[in-house]
Amino acid sequence: QVQVVESGGGLVQPGGSLRLSCVVRGIIFRVTPTGWYRQAPGKQRELVAHVTPGGSTNYAGSVKNRFTISRDNAKTTVYLQMNSLEHEDTAVYYCNTQPPRDALWGKGTQVTVSS
């Protein structure tokens, strides 16, 4: 059974940091590219960052140099370290494969950046 469980979201002030975690089950994680996506109110879901099985990373321009994606194949977990957070980063954050699979959309974790 495929499953993802995201965690680590919360309320943070502008300029603050959060670290998101996502445990992925039911796929051959070590050979599967994975990504973090986000959906802000009234906007479409977008890909924020993704990481290949070998560890190569790619980022959306809006988060480059602020966010860092990483993975632990042994723990089937993908992380997103978010620094210098901005109001515009407020969204529900999801992890999934890249490209995404319908069956792997979880509940996400809410990130709210507010003073």
- pLDDT digit string, tens, across residues 65-108: 999 999 999 999 999 999 999 999 999 999 999 999 999 999 99
Q: What is the pLDDT of residues 46-55, one digit of tens each?
A: 999 999 999 9
Beta strands in 1-115 (DSSP E): 3-7, 10-12, 18-25, 34-39, 46-51, 57-59, 67-72, 77-82, 91-97, 109-113
Contacts (Cβ under 8 Å, ≥6 apart) of 75: 23
| 73 CA to centre of own chain | 16
Q: pLDDT at residue 40 above 90?
A: yes
Q: What is the DSSP letter of 19?
A: E
Q: Which of 26, 29, 81 is nearest to 53 (CA)?
A: 29
